[in-house]
Amino acid sequence: MDRPSTSKMSRRGFANIGCLILLSLGLLGLFLGYPVATFVNRSILAAKASCAAPAPPPARVDIKAVFSPPDQLPAFVHVGLIDADTPVEAHTITSWSTGKEMKLVFSDEFETDNRTVVLSRG
């Protein structure tokens, strides 16, 4: 005769609970432990770097200075983020909700194949 089990949980139940605990600890470590560790690490590095000389700003290359005069730019290179084919009246628009005038920051009329956009402050 088989004796009834005195345990209220089977091995499978213990395995499920163990996996849930491991998963919960992993999620806590990811969403709580990692940000805290990153913050502490950055604050320690900032305290060490506060005594050092500031780093120079990264160098910026102006494409117009590289190609001088500007007519040396290849025809497929577009300098700036607003396409030359965009109509001037489309460069600003009035907001429906606030009524303020908004400026166009990027446009591409998709009319020229194999063209590249070169970022510039010009």
Of 34 and 57, more confident? 34
Band (pLDDT 50/70/90 cuts) for residue 112 is: low
110 and 71 share one domain:
yes
34 and 81 share one domain:
no
Residue 27 forms part of a structural domain = yes
69 and 113 share one domain:
yes
68 and 50 share one domain:
no
70 and 111 share one domain:
yes
For residue 20, what pLDDT is reported? 97
49 and 67 share one domain:
no
SS3 label, residue 79: strand
Q: How many CA atoms lie within 13 A of 24 on its CB side?
A: 6
92 and 112 share one domain:
yes
For residue 26, what pLDDT is reported? 93
Band (pLDDT 50/70/90 cuts) for residue 18 is: very high
Of 80 and 34, more confident? 34
Mean pLDDT throughout 24-37? Answer: 91
SS3 label, residue 52: coil
* Residue span of the structural domain in which 22 resides: 8-55
40 and 80 share one domain:
no
Residue 3 forms part of a structural domain = no
Q: Quote the number of domains for the chain.
A: 2
Tens of pLDDT, residues 40-78: 888 887 777 666 666 666 666 665 566 555 555 565 555
Which sign does the torsion angle of CA 94, 96, 102, 106 carry?
A: negative
Q: What share of the chain in percent tops pLDDT 90? A: 20
Which sign does the torsion angle of CA 80, 81, 85, 90 carry?
A: negative
67 and 50 share one domain:
no
Residue 42 forms part of a structural domain = yes
